[in-house]
Structures are given as structure tokens and as C-alpha cells.
Amino acid sequence: MIQKEPAENVAVILAYLPTEQSRKILESLPPSKKTEVTSLLATSREVLPEVLSRVNREMKKKIDFIVDGTERLSAILDQSDKATRDEILEFLGKKDPELAARIKKSIFTFENVIELEKDDLQKVLREVSLDVLGFALRGVDDNFREQIFKKISEGAASMLKQELELSGTIPKKKIEDAQHDIVGIVRKLEKEGAVEIRRKEAPANAGLAAAGAEKDKPAGAAKKKDDKKS
């Protein structure tokens, strides 16, 4: 139903829905509308009361009529799949390179987890079950896993390695959901002031495995092969 709404209405709706719902809606939009909604959502702007009334008459009673687009879009892209994230960043890069760079810098995805300080990572992992962490690590390469192992206790690392060895084939959706859950925990702890996100300059796709759902194919194989060629 929301796909039939004008792009302006969709952008307003996504600005105030929970991030997970916004992500799902954004991913479901046709490419042309997705880019239009992205442009509107990424731009901080005044939202007129009559526009809000048209979208949801009750919404105008609860908000200040200002949409902080950059922060909101970053939060949605945190939880989006890689294809959607890359598509939107590419579009924004062509339209407004400075805005695209600002949003890209503020995005925190699962691949950024290894950038957390050791103490902060341990705080995050205390709120993550072993099976969820195991699912999430099935979608990354061996180098990424080793960096995680180095920042947790030997006992936790041993149990995690065993979990990875014993688990069978994991659906890609389950891997992505586990990674999104962990990113959500990082963001929650950041808002609470419990952890600090310190960003490092790194390739956008560093650490992500090409085929995380296949057990019998090492997730880092493709990367190692390329390294040898170079």
C-alpha cells in the first residue's frame, strides 16, 4: 500500500517509523521511487503541518516538524542489506558527493564491529547470545573472525570456534538478521553512552565474505586468492 504513496509521504513516514520497519519498506520500493525517497529523506528540511496531517493526522501532535535526514537515513542504512546500501550511496554520490560522504561516514554496519575498542566490544558481546554471534560470523572471512577472537576471552573464543565448526549451513537471511541484531545493540549502547564508535578509514567491503551461507567454502577464500594474484 505504501508503494502507491507519493515519495514525499513515504519519506515522512520512514522518518518516524522504527528503523527496522523503515529498512524493510525502503528495500521494497521500486528503484525509481527508492532513489527519490532517499533524496528527500537524506535532506534535513522543514515538514509543513499540512503535509503531516495528510500522512497521519495524529503525527503532528508528537513531533517538532523538523526531519534530521542524515542521521535518520544512516540509521536505516545501518540495517539495510549491502545491495540496497550500495545502490543508495551510489545514487547520492552522483547527486551530492558531499552528502554521500557524510552519510557513508556515519553508517555503522557489522563490518565496523572490529573497529570497536576491546572493552567496548566485550560490552556489546555480553548482550549477544553465542548462537547469534556464531550466525553473524558465518558471513565474514577468517581475518575478521580472528580479530574478534583476539578481543574476547580465550574461553569465549574457544566456545565460539566450536560453535562455528559444529553449525551446519546457515541461510543468508539468518546471517544478516544476526548481524543486524548486533549492530542494533551497538547503536543502543552508543546512545546510552556505554560504548564509543571510533571510525577508521577502511575499504567499504572489508571483511565481508562473498558467500557466508556455505559451510564447505571458506569465507575468506576469494580474498586470499586475490591477494596472491596481487
pLDDT in tens, 34-57: 888 888 887 756 665 666 565 554
Highest mean pLDDT among 81-85, 95-99, 134-138: 134-138
Q: Give percent of the chain above pLDDT 70.
A: 73
Q: Which amino acid is at 59?
A: M
Q: What's domain 2-106's architecture?
A: Orthogonal Bundle (1.10)
Find out whether 22 and 33 touch, Cβ atoms under 8 Å: no
- State how far the Cα of 70 lies from the Cα of 81, in Å rounded to an integer: 18
User: Please, which pLDDT band fits residue 128 given cuts at 50, 70 and 90?
Assistant: very high
User: Is pTM beyond 0.85 here?
Assistant: no
Indicate the burial class of 121 (C-beta count within 10 angstroms; 0-12, 13-18, 19 or more): buried
pLDDT of 158 strictly over 70: yes
The whole-chain average pLDDT of the chain stands at 76
Given this model, what pLDDT does residue 106 score? 84
User: Please, which pLDDT band fits residue 68 given cuts at 50, 70 and 90?
Assistant: low
Given this model, what pLDDT does residue 53 score? 60
Q: What is the pLDDT of residues 10-38, one digit of tens each?
A: 887 787 777 877 887 888 888 888 888 88
Given this model, what pLDDT does residue 52 score? 55
Given this model, what pLDDT does residue 218 score? 44
Given this model, what pLDDT does residue 149 score? 92
User: Please, which pLDDT band fits residue 104 given cuts at 50, 70 and 90?
Assistant: confident
Domains 2-106 and 112-191 share a fold: yes
pLDDT of 126 strictly over 50: yes
Instruction: Look at 105-119, 123-137, 155-169, 179-193 and tell me which has the smallest mean pLDDT.
Output: 155-169
Alpha-carbon Rg for the chain, nearest whole angstrom, is 19
CATH of region 112-191: 1.10.220.30
- Residue 191 CB contacts under 8 Å (≥ 6 apart), including other chains: none
Find out whether 226 and 143 touch, Cβ atoms under 8 Å: no
The domain segmentation of the chain, as residue ranges, is: 2-106, 112-191
